Amino acid sequence: MKPFRADILAIGSELLHGGRVDSNSLFIADILASCGIRVAQKMALSDELRDIQSALRATCKQADVVIVTGGLGSTVDDRTREAVATTFGRKLAARPKAMQILKRQLHKRGRIVTPLLARQALIPLGAQVLDNGVGTAPGFYLQEGSTHVFVIPGVPREARDMMDLQVQPILKRRLKGTTVLWSHAFNTVGLPETDIQQLVAPLLSASSGIALSLLASTKGVKVTLSCWDPKDSKLSRSTKSKSFLQGDSLLHEVRKRLGPCLFSEGDETMEEVVGQLLSSRKWTIGLAESCTGGLIAHRITEVPGSSGYLERGTVTYSNKAKEELLGIARALLRKNGAVSAQVAEAMAKGIRAKSRVDLGVSVTGIAGPGGGSAKKPVGLVYMAIDGPQGRKSQRCQFGGDRTEIKFRSSQAALNMIRCYLLQVKM
């Protein structure tokens, strides 16, 4: 049996010309995959009625499931309800269940239903109203021919709530007996794409039905193996269970080949990995950031519970701050310059001593666009770590703009912490 095909339509002119990307499709694709449905195509459309109408008509011809997001608000540019109703020849009506949801959600905010807001309760006749546990706009579900059409809000938290609690149960009930799909991602840092392909691709030729995709970003290279039809492959439908993953020779072999470059699997972030390692050792950490400007502290504190290991962070942009918060000698700064291995090591040692933590970590470099020279070009970054196993430092040369250099530096520094905690070579 072939996996069902889904298309995602994201409505909103801001997605085309407003400097905004559609991020909802990421978790929508994950939820659909867990129901055995493969996303074949994502589209972003303007708020123009005829654009939405023609996309709806086209997609209903080819997809089994269509998820429409956005355009359910109460302002003039919200036209999704009208577009769906006219495309499928249905009337819009103020549906009692929709009005109930709207009243309840507005009541929570101490507000009442105004005529403008009441537009949100207009739902095509014959469609099933979907509850919104987070925001005010109800969604809806209808069947058009053999295609299942779900219309949900564009606000990420509302979309996620409705996908989880409303759309997923309906899909599981309606599309019984489909194949179970799987994909497995390995997150690596420090190796270029082509090297990774040469390591991993030879493992796959024998296992038909498994596709390899490589994605390079400032975080490193993400290596994804995916399979849309288990019958074609060596791996059975139990692939998702942990015991199988651990036992499976292919995934095991990929892990072995990637070696210490592999920092996590699936959705786990570098900062989560570092947080777990610190927690399990009961080690505390202090940060001395210069060119990363607080980004490492920001990333570490994205993880709930990070207050258990992050004692303090410092953004020592000025030399005065380096002297006062880290105890760096003015002579050392004058002799080597702030961007040097010597100063990076002194910063790591300084923050460790001042904050009395297990690990002191530092980064100093030139994020650009100004401030570079022939000897010390933009992108030159030194980082160091000081801890119970001694002091280590590394010199990196990163490409990209200021934002990219800051991010790559933060990723390399977090990886340095990871390697130090695991006692593996960087």
Query: Which of 73-81, 124-132, 145-153, 384-392 is the region at the interface with its own copies (rule: CB under 8 A)?
Result: 73-81
Q: Which residue has the tokens 């295609």?
A: 147
- CA distance linking residue 95 with residue 206, whole number of Å: 56
For residue 137, the 8-state DSSP code is: -
Neighbouring C-beta atoms of residue 282, cutoff 10 Å: 9
Q: Give the CA count within 13 Å in the CB-facing half-sphere of 244.
A: 10
Query: Which of 85-93, 142-150, 207-215, 234-242 is the region at the interface with its own copies (rule: CB under 8 A)?
Result: 207-215
Distances in whole angstroms, Cα of residue 227 to Cα of each of 212, 245, 329: 9, 14, 57
Q: How far is the CB of 23 from its own copies (least distance, A)?
A: 5
Query: Which of 85-93, 122-130, 293-301, 390-398 is the region at the interface with its own copies (rule: CB under 8 A)?
Result: 293-301
Number of residues that bind its own copies (CB under 8 A): 98
Helix (H, G, I), strand (E, B) or coil at 223: strand
Q: How far is the CB of 106 from its own copies (least distance, A)?
A: 11
Name 286's bridge partners: 312, 360
Cβ proximity to its own copies, 234 vs 402, nearer residue: 402
Length of the chain: 426
Cβ proximity to its own copies, 31 vs 90, nearer residue: 31
Site for its own copies in 350-389 (CB under 8 A): 354-355, 367-370
Among 23, 238, 241, 397, indicate the residue that binds its own copies (CB under 8 A).
23
Q: Which structure tokens are listed for 174?
A: 């309606």
Q: How far is the CB of 128 from its own copies (least distance, A)?
A: 27
Among 34, 49, 74, 170, indicate the residue that binds its own copies (CB under 8 A).
74
Among 16, 94, 422, 424, indicate the residue that binds its own copies (CB under 8 A).
16
Query: Which of 16-24, 84-92, 140-148, 255-263 is the region at the interface with its own copies (rule: CB under 8 A)?
Result: 16-24
Site for its own copies in 24-63 (CB under 8 A): 25-26, 29-30, 33, 38-47, 51, 55, 58
Q: How far is the CB of 142 from its own copies (least distance, A)?
A: 23
Bridge-based pairing of strands 4-11 and 65-69 is parallel
Q: How far is the CB of 281 from its own copies (least distance, A)?
A: 18
Q: Is residue 201 near its own copies by the rule CB under 8 A?
A: yes
- CA distance linking residue 213 with residue 185, whole number of Å: 9
Neighbouring C-beta atoms of residue 40, cutoff 10 Å: 15
Give, for 225, the enclosing helix (H) or strand (E): strand 220-227
Amino acid at 371: G
- CA distance linking residue 41 with residue 381, whole number of Å: 40
275 within 8 A of 282, measured Cβ to Cβ: no
Among 36, 73, 365, 379, indicate the residue that binds its own copies (CB under 8 A).
73
Q: How far is the CB of 91 from its own copies (least distance, A)?
A: 26
